[in-house]
Amino acid sequence: MKKKITILVPELPESVNTATIVKWHKNIGDYIYRDDILVDLETDKIMIEVPASETGKLISIMKNPGSVVRSHEILCYINKENKINEKLNFNNIRENLSPSLRRKNKLLNQKNISEIKEIKLLQKQEKKKNINNILKNSDNILQKKIKIKKIISMSPLRKRIAEKLIETQNNTAMLTTFNEVNMSSIIKIRKKFGEIFLKKNNVKLGFMSFFIKSAISALKKYPIINAVINKDKIIFYEDYNINIAVSTDRGLIAPVIFNADQMSISDIEKKIKYYANQGKNNKITIQELNGGTFTITNGGVFGSLFSTPIINLPQSAILGMHTIQDRVIVTQEKKIKIAPMMYISLSYDHRLIDGKDAIGFLNQIKNVLENFIQIILDI
């Protein structure tokens, strides 16, 4: 007698609660191997791949794409089989089409794999037909007059980003203050020691690690920036856990560099590289996204000259980095010269943080970046 294996939704943290079924990679009747990816789940933060725990045959699917699930709900059942033959299952292709096309198209009944191109053409035609039906049933006159390339549903991540932005605007008294930094000193350090640093640590010396170190220096000087409001209380954090914004195909996420104050420049750069790679492959875990106390976002990598970043709740402030641009400045010696300048911004909850502290915080970051020896001397 074959053993029936139950595949469950993995344990989800309390902060996530639910996940959405995005895509099944296998169909009922498919033969699968242990560790094959069965289904993709999407939370409001990350993608979760659910693998097969045993080798066997998929006999039933309990949750369809789009279904919202919780921890330990049943996703599917597998009949365990120790020895299976790989089969090219034409039904996998056939199941991607609508029931109407499956009934009408005689080609599908021939089970001729060489006709896949024609099947894909039918899929494209059906998508176009669906869009036309949407427009036909719409009461929006303007929508009928414009051409639409495609219509897609918002992902749970994009929905959650939208919800958090509105939540921040509705629940904080957000204000942004600005300053600018002469990046000559940091650029010289990178130019002089960049190759040596790369050879020793197998990672490039970027700008973000300097900003993390300078931000920690400023957070220590202005601890109110590293605090949050909880009802009628103010909670001051002892840890310096820095979220860094990472761009992925699914949107912007902000994994945490934990205890960044205890890390070296090289350790920070290695962690940044790790998160960049994990983000590209949708491998960042929920645990790596929770527990931050302060966020740094770098719009400069996309060419942003100036921005007002939105606070990453429940935190109270966020630092914005921007692109470096040569500008004419007046030095302390009253001389005019061209220097590589960067605008920096701090968006903060004005209910908790006064303008004086916010301005002092940015001034401290500016001073450290322009005189990084302060970090080495711990002054």
**Residue 298, token pair as written in the block:** 């770098």
* pLDDT tops 50 at residue 113: no
> What is the distance between the terminal CA atoms of the chain, rounded to a whole angstrom?
72
CB neighbour list of residue 95: distance below 8 Å, 6 or more residues apart: 27
pLDDT at 92: 45
* pLDDT tops 70 at residue 337: yes
Phi and psi for 256 in degrees, rounded to 5?
Answer: -110, 135
Active site residue 72: no
Report the SS3 class of residue 73. coil
Set 35, 40, 350, 378: catalytic member:
350
> Would you call 79 exposed, middle or buried from its count of C-beta atoms within 10 A (0-12, 13-18, 19+)?
middle
Rounded to whole angstroms, the maximal C-alpha distance in the chain is: 89
Set 72, 267, 354, 378: catalytic member:
354
What kind and span of H or E run contains 70?
strand 68-70
Output the pTM of the full model.
0.68
Distance CA 303, CA 301 (A): 6
CATH of 157-377, one of 3.40.640.10, 3.30.559.10, 3.40.50.300, 1.10.8.10: 3.30.559.10
Q: Where are the domains of the chain?
A: 3-87, 157-377
* pLDDT tops 70 at residue 96: no
CATH topology identical between 3-87 and 157-377: no
DSSP conformation class of 202: S
Provide the pLDDT confidence category of residue 132 given band limits of 50, 70 and 90.
low
* pLDDT tops 80 at residue 253: yes
CA-angle at 260, arms to 243 and 237, nearest 5°: 75
Asked whether the CA dihedral 52, 56, 57, 61 is positive or negative, the reply is negative
For the domain 3-87, what is the CATH code?
Answer: 2.40.50.100
pLDDT at 124: 60
| Mean pLDDT to the nearest integer, 276-305 | 89
Active site residue 44: no
Please state whether beta strands 242-244 and 294-298 pair in parallel, antiparallel, or not at all (unpaired).
Answer: parallel
Provide the pLDDT confidence category of residue 316 given band limits of 50, 70 and 90.
very high
Say if CB 236 and CB 352 are below 8 A apart.
Answer: no
pLDDT at 338: 96
DSSP letters, 103-163, are HH-HHHHHT-GGGHHHHHHHHHHHHHHHHHHHHHT---HHHHHS--S---PPPHHHHHHHH
